[in-house]
C-alpha cells in the first residue's frame, strides 16, 4: 500500500476525511482495555467531541529498541504507519474508522471506534459451557467471512485473526481490529466481490428482509450477558483455493495457535492463511479450545503441521466446514466462494447479513465512563513494556541502581490499573522457527 493509495479515495469511492490530531489535554483516560506485542489500548473520552474512543498507544523507545534487535530501526515505524494507512482506507461497517492520531515526544498512537461489547473471547468465556451454539457461530462466522472477503478485495492479508481481535460493537455486530501484522498483496478478485457501498452501521429496520431465516431465531436470547469473565490469559462442494496467485509473503507473524501450516513451514503464504485462522476460530467457538495447542510453541507448531483436528461429535455442516478450512495444503483449502456456498450457510442471504437488527448479543455499556483513578498513559506503557531497559542500556552500574527504583514505580502503576485476561502475545520473527 503506497502513498498514492493512501491519498486516493476509499474503497467505496468517497474521499478520505481529514484525520484530527489528538492531545492528552482534551482526552480523559478511563481504563486500560487490552494489550498486544507492542501497544496498550485505552478507553478514552474525547471531551472536545464528547465521545468515547479506543486509543492504541505505543512507546517510541520500544519501537526503536525492537528495530535495533532486528537490525532494522525503520521496520517497526513502518508497521505503525502501515496500520494507520490501512485504517484510513477501510470503508466498511465491520471495520473501525481512524478517529485521530497521537504523536508526542515519547508516544505514538491512534484512536478508533470503541466497542463496548469487548472481544469474542471474553464473550465466549461468559457462557455457561464456555462455547457457542451452532446458530450463534453461524452469525459471527458469516460476518467474519464478509469482513475477510472485503479485506482481500483490497489486497490486505490480515494474518492475525483470533477472538481477541474480534470486537463486539454497540449494535451487536463484530468489528475486526489490530492490523499491525497485516500485509499487502495484489488484490484478490473473486467472482463475488463485496459491495462497493457496504450498508451503514445504523441500518434502518425497514431494510431487513424477513426471508433471512437462519438468523431470525436470535432475538438477543442466544448469549448469556453474565459478566463474570475468567482472568486467565488465553494464550459435493469442491474446495477451491485462494493460493493460485503467484504473489506470496514469507514473513513469520501471527499468534501461534492460529497460524497456518504454510507460515510455520516458511514456504510462503497468501490470502489462504486467513481462512485457516477462521477455521481455528470456529473450532474454538464450538469446543471452547483451539485445535492444535501444545504444551509449548514447538509442540503447537508440530501439531499444526502434522495433526488433524479432533472434530468430536456427530457429523454436522459446521464440523465439515471447519475440516475444510483446516486443510493443511493451502491449494486445497476451501476459499470464499466455497465457504459462502457451504451447507453450513444454507439459506443465508449474504447481502442482508449486516442488516440483522438483533444479533445474538447486545452489550450494555452503562458503566464504561466511570473513572476510578487517574491513569498516566506513559507510566503504564513504560511499566508494561520497557521495565527501564531502554533507559538503562547505556548507563553505568550506579545509574542503573538509581533508575531501578524509578522502574519499579512504573511497574507498580501498570500492575495497579491492569486488566487480566488480555490478548495472547503474537509471535514475531524472533525465534519463530526454533523447533
CATH superfamily name and code, 120-355: Transferase(Phosphotransferase) domain 1 (1.10.510.10)
Residue 336: which residues within 8 A CB-CB, separation 6 or more? Answer: 145, 148, 149, 152, 190, 192, 242, 275
Q: Does domain 3-114+368-417 have CATH number 3.30.200.20?
A: yes
What pLDDT, on the 0 to 100 scale, is given for residue 427?
46
- Residues 177-208: pLDDT tens digits? 999 889 998 886 654 444 444 443 433 333 43
Helix spans in 154-227 (H): none
351 is catalytic: no
Please report, in angstroms and rounded to a whole number, the separation of the first and last CA atoms in the chain. Answer: 33
Q: Residue 285 is placed in which grid cell?
A: 467457538
Query: Is a pLDDT exceeding 60 seen at residue 348?
Result: yes
Which range has the worst mean pLDDT, 146-150, 161-165, 210-214, 276-280? 210-214
pLDDT of residue 292: 97
Give the per-residue pLDDT at 420: 41
Q: pLDDT tens, 349-385?
A: 999 999 999 999 999 865 455 555 667 787 777 777 6
Question: For residue 321, is pLDDT > 80?
Answer: yes
Domain boundaries along the sequence of the chain:
3-114+368-417, 120-355
> pTM here?
0.76
- d(Cα 233, Cα 277) in Å, to the nearest integer? 19
Name the most confidently modeled range: 46-50, 242-246, 313-317: 313-317
- Percent of the chain scored above 70 by pLDDT? 64
Lowest mean pLDDT among 94-103, 198-207, 399-408: 198-207
Catalytic residue, chosen from 160, 178, 242, 335, is 160
Amino acid at each position: 500500500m503506497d502513498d498514492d493509495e493512501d491519498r486516493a479515495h476509499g474503497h467505496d469511492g468517497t474521499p478520505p476525511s481529514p484525520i484530527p490530531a489528538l492531545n492528552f489535554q482534551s482526552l480523559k483516560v478511563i481504563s486500560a482495555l487490552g494489550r498486544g506485542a507492542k501497544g496498550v489500548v485505552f478507553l478514552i473520552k474525547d471531551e472536545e467531541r464528547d465521545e468515547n474512543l479506543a486509543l492504541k498507544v505505543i512507546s517510541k523507545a520500544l519501537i526503536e529498541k525492537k528495530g535495533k534487535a532486528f537490525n532494522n530501526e525503520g521496520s517497526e515505524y513502518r508497521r505503525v504507519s502501515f496500520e494507520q494507512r490501512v485504517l484510513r482506507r477501510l470503508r466498511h461497517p465491520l471495520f473501525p474508522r481512524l478517529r485521530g492520531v497521537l504523536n508526542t515526544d515519547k508516544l505514538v498512537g491512534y484512536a478508533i471506534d470503541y466497542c463496548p461489547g469487548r472481544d469474542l473471547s471474553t464473550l465466549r468465556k461468559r457462557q455457561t459451557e464456555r462455547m457457542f451454539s451452532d446458530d450463534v457461530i453461524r452469525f459471527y462466522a458469516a460476518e467474519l467471512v464478509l469482513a475477510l472477503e472485503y479485506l482481500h478485495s483490497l489486497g490486505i492479508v490480515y494474518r492475525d485473526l483470533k477472538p481477541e481481535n474480534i470486537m463486539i460493537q454497540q449494535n451487536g455486530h463484530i468489528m475486526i481490529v489490530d492490523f499491525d501484522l497485516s500485509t499487502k498483496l495484489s488484490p484478490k478478485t473473486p467472482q463475488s466481490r463485496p459491495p462497493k457501498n457496504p450498508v451503514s452501521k445504523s441500518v434502518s429496520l425497514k431494510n431487513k428482509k424477513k426471508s433471512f431465516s437462519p438468523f431470525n431465531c436470535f432475538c438477543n436470547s442466544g448469549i448469556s450477558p453474565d459478566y463474570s469473565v475468567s482472568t486467565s490469559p488465553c494464550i459435493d462442494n469442491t474446495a477451491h483455493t485462494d493460493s493460485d496467485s503467484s504473489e506470496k509473503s514469507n514473513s513469520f507473524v501471527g499468534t501461534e495457535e492460529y497460524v497456518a501450516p504454510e507460515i510455520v513451514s516458511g514456504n510462503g503464504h497468501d490470502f489462504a492463511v486467513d481462512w485457516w485462522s477462521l477455521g481455528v476460530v470456529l473450532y474454538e467457538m464450538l469446543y471452547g479450545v483451539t485445535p492444535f495447542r501444545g504444551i509449548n510453541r514447538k509442540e503447537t507448531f508440530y501439531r499444526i503441521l502434522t495433526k488433524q483436528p479432533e472434530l468430536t461429535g456427530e457429523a454436522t455442516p459446521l464440523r465439515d466446514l471447519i475440516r475444510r478450512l483446516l486443510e493443511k495444503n493451502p491449494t486445497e483449502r476451501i476459499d470464499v466462494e466455497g465457504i459462502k456456498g457451504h451447507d453450513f450457510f444454507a439459506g443465508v442471504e449474504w447481502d442482508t447479513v449486516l442488516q440483522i437488527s438483533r444479533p445474538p448479543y447486545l452489550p450494555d455499556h452503562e458503566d464504561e465512563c466511570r473513572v476510578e483513578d487517574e491513569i498516566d498513559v506513559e507510566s503504564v506503557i513504560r511499566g508494561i513494556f520497557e521495565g527501564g531497559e531502554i533507559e538503562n542500556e547505556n548507563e553505568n552500574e550506579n545509574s542503573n541502581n538509581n533508575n531501578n527504583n524509578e522502574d519499579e514505580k512504573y511497574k507498580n502503576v501498570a500492575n495497579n490499573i491492569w486488566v487480566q485476561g488480555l490478548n495472547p502475545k503474537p509471535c514475531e520473527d524472533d525465534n519463530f522457527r526454533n523447533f
